[in-house]
Amino acid sequence: MSPLNVKTKSRLSSRVQDIQPSGIRRFFDLASSMDNIISLGVGEPDFITPWNIREASISSMERGFTAYSANAGVLELRQEITKYMYNRFDVDYDAETEVLVTVGASEAIDIGCRAILDPGDEVIIVEPGFVSYSPLVSMAGGVPVSVGTRIEDDFKVSAEQIRAAITANTKALMISFPNNPTGAVMLREDLQEIAVLAEEHDLIVFSDEIYAELSYDNQHVSFAALEGMKERTILISGFSKAFAMTGWRLGFVMAPPDLLAAMLKLHQYSLMCAPTMAQYGALEALKSGMDDVERMKQSYKQRRGFFVESFAEMGLACHMPGGAFYAFPSIKATGLTSEEFAEKLLYEEHVAVVPGDIFGAGGEGHIRCSYATSMDNLQEATKRMKRFVSKHL
């Protein structure tokens, strides 16, 4: 034990201390302390995992599939994943050397960063974006560099914006479309110019396509499907959003063999393998879950229609989100900051939304509202928000 009069070094690493806790956390604590709230703050489907998937997982346990799987995941599942990704998104990967089943897409981002970053390497992160990107880059020793998108551009990112952030240290680019929190999508021609830039500057591109199935107006285009991009893409996806399997913690990453082997090394030391019973559920999801995906997608699309129109009635500008299940309206007309808006809305009307600034650059002045909740909740929430906004306009 160290003497009391000696100032000891913190037992925590400076790297961890430098990372800020997620702003989501503070809001979660606030919202949890109140009763009768309607939450539009949930970043996951409101459906329960379809029964056939749950049943398949239960059955796998009954049959005794409770041991470790191969590090990269059950081979049959990896084969189904490659088939599915080929059929749905026109990307062609080898199940044995280019696919790794991870513990959620988050793990894939984590090991992807750790696999490629040396201290000081910069990663351009397109924001607003998922809250984990920047901390995961930092924890891997890299330097996150934000590029903010804007409502005027429907929250798409242009090659120009990215080019302006490139330095001699830029190693990689992190994009995610359909986007959480904006719901933005990028069409083939939008992605094409990014591809040219990636080629030009020899960037590795993390493309987090976890919301790919939830594209409502256009067929999703995978970044890895663009000509020449597979070689430099770390394609990340998973089962959470499309199949309503968030709690199963099951994602996957697809990448060229050298990158994948490096990620597999990290995965094998820190996790060994993704939970076997979850993998058997996922196998069933891919084999017979597409009708359920379509059913849920239709339902989100209808709720999107209802929800986005009601912002116009409130007098808040909102772009039409092409995917995911979030609307990201501007609240600038109220003169409040995102945090003030969200906090007051919670206290005055008991509706929980997430302030946009916690999703990084370009998020301030917006709030993220998830429409993955029942129509009854959406109707009541929009009624309350209308009342709230009319008071503050």
Partner 1 sequence: MTDKELEILRIIEEDARIDLNTLAKMTSINEEEIKAILKKLEEKKVILNYSTVVDWSKVPQAEQVTAMIDVKVTPKRGVGFDEVAERIYRFTEVQALYLMSGAYDLQVVIEGKTMQEIARFVSEKLSSIDSVISTTTHFQLKKYKHDGIVFEEGEEDRRIVVTP
Among 179, 373, 381, 385, binds partner 1 (CB under 8 A): 373
Minimum Å distance from CB 105 to partner 1? 12
Member of 68, 86, 269, 306 binding partner 1 (CB under 8 A): 306
19 in contact with partner 1 (CB under 8 A): no
3-state class of 349 per DSSP? helix
Residue (35 or 152) nearer to partner 1, CB: 35
Phi and psi, residue 116, nearest 5°: -115, -15
Asked whether position 354 contacts partner 1 by CB under 8 A, the answer is yes
Burial of 307-324, coded b for 16+ CB within 10 Å and e otherwise, reads bbebbeebebbbbebbbb
- Which positions ≥6 away from 177 have C-beta within 8 Å? 184, 185, 186, 209, 211, 323
Query: With respect to partner 1, which residue has the nearer C-beta, 174 or 224?
Result: 174
Q: Is 305 among the residues that bind partner 1 (CB under 8 A)? A: yes
Q: Compose the 259-298 pattern: x for residues touching partner 1 by CB under 8 A, - for all others.
A: ---------------------------------------x
Contacts of 132 (CB under 8 A, 6+ apart): 106, 109, 110
Q: How many residues bind partner 1 (CB under 8 A)?
A: 30
Binding mask 112-151 for partner 1 (x = CB under 8 A): ------------------xxx-------------------
Query: Is the peptide bond prior to 275 cis by the omega test (within 30 degrees of 0)?
Result: no
Question: Does residue 31 touch partner 1 according to CB under 8 A?
Answer: yes
The DSSP line for 87-133 is HHH-----TTTSEEEESHHHHHHHHHHHHHPPTT-EEEEEES--TTH
Q: Using only C-alpha atoms, what is the Rg of the chain?
A: 21
All residues at 6 or more sequence positions from 7 whose CB lies less than 8 Å from its CB, including other chains: none
**Is residue 24 near partner 1 by the rule CB under 8 A?**
yes
The stretch among 27-35, 83-91, 251-259, 285-293 that binds partner 1 (CB under 8 A) is 27-35
Residues 34-53 that bind partner 1 (CB under 8 A): 37, 39, 41-44, 46, 48
Q: Which is nearer to partner 1, 161 or 379 (CB)?
A: 379
Q: Name the H helices within the chain.
A: 14-18, 23-32, 51-62, 75-89, 104-116, 133-139, 159-165, 188-200, 257-270, 276-288, 290-314, 338-349, 375-392
Cβ of residue 208: shortest distance to partner 1, in angstroms? Answer: 13
Identify which range of 115-123, 139-147, 183-191, 371-379 contacts partner 1 by CB under 8 A: 371-379
Q: How far is the CB of 352 from partner 1 (least distance, A)?
A: 6
- 166: three-class secondary structure by DSSP: coil
- Nearest-approach distance from CB 251 to partner 1, in angstroms: 14
Residue with tokens 């309350």: 384
Provide the terminal-to-terminal Cα distance of the chain, rounded to the nearest Å: 59
Rounded-to-10 torsion of CA 183, 192, 197, 160: -60
Length of the chain: 393
- Nearest distance from residue 182's CB to partner 1, in Å? 14
Could you tell me the smallest distance in angstroms from the CB atom of residue 27 to partner 1?
5
Q: For residue 352, state whether it binds partner 1 (rule: CB under 8 A).
A: yes
User: Which residues in the 182-211 window bind partner 1 by CB under 8 A?
Assistant: none
Interaction between residue 333 and partner 1 (CB under 8 A):
no
Kindly state the smallest distance separating residue 306's Cβ from partner 1, in Å: 4
We find the least distance from the C-beta atom of residue 214 to partner 1, in angstroms, to be 16
Select 46 or 199, whichever has its Cβ closest to partner 1. Answer: 46
Q: Any contact of residue 108 with partner 1 (CB under 8 A)?
A: no
Give the integer Cα–Cα distance in Å for 163 and 143.
Answer: 17
Q: Which is nearer to partner 1, 75 or 320 (CB)?
A: 320
Residue 196 beta carbon to partner 1: minimum distance, rounded to whole angstroms = 32
130 half-sphere exposure, CB direction, 13 A CA radius: 24
Contact at 8 Å (CB) between 388 and 345? yes
Which residues are within 8 A (CB) of 88 and not within 5 positions of it... i.e. 6 or more apart? 212, 213
**Binding residues vs partner 1 (CB under 8 A):** 22, 24, 27-28, 31-32, 37, 39, 41-44, 46, 48, 130-132, 180, 298, 302-303, 305-306, 309-310, 352, 354, 373, 375, 379
